[in-house]
Amino acid sequence: MSKFYTILAFVFISFCASATDPFQNESLENDFKEINKVEQFVNENPNTTLQDLKTNHSELVEEITFDTHTSSALIVNDDLIGIPPFWYGFCFGIIGIVLVYILTDNDKELTQKALKGCLVSAAVGVGLYIVYVALLVGLWSSAVYSY
């Protein structure tokens, strides 16, 4: 049986090694040809804006489609290592607030967002505790009356 697994592993490795690399594709270079032209023009003219390209140099961007309808939920400008400051405060509490304060070089706005996360986390914790105690009291009282 071990010979079967050895042969299977050899066939799998051979198949993977012979597979073509998707990034070594000629059509990929053709797709980026227009963007490379725009990049070269912008490098030569550093003060060029997208609106300027659309109005004055439309031949460069005529085959490129721009999607300007992006969701604001996907754009996070104030994140730290990929995590918004609210979640630092929510998940790590006071330590999260201190982390945000230190990592953002004393940015008060981001520290306030971390504080809001900490307060929301505390409110959720208190709410869950109240529900837990209410359930315990309800169970205890029903157990006392049942005897």
Tokens of 9: 């592993």
Q: What is the pLDDT of residues 8-34, one digit of tens each?
A: 676 667 666 555 555 556 666 766 777
Q: What is the pLDDT of residues 86-101, one digit of tens each?
A: 999 999 999 999 999 9
Phi first, then psi: give them for residue 146, nearest 5 degrees.
-80, -20
Rounded CA-CA distance 107/88 in Å is: 14
> What is the DSSP track for 13-39?
HHHHHHSPPTTS-HHHHHHTHHHHHHH
With a CB cutoff of 8 Å and minimum separation 6, the contacts of 119 are 89
Q: What is the pLDDT of residues 42-69, one digit of tens each?
A: 788 888 777 777 777 667 667 666 666 6
| Inter-axis angle of helices 85-92 and 94-103, nearest 10 | 150
Full-model pTM: 0.46
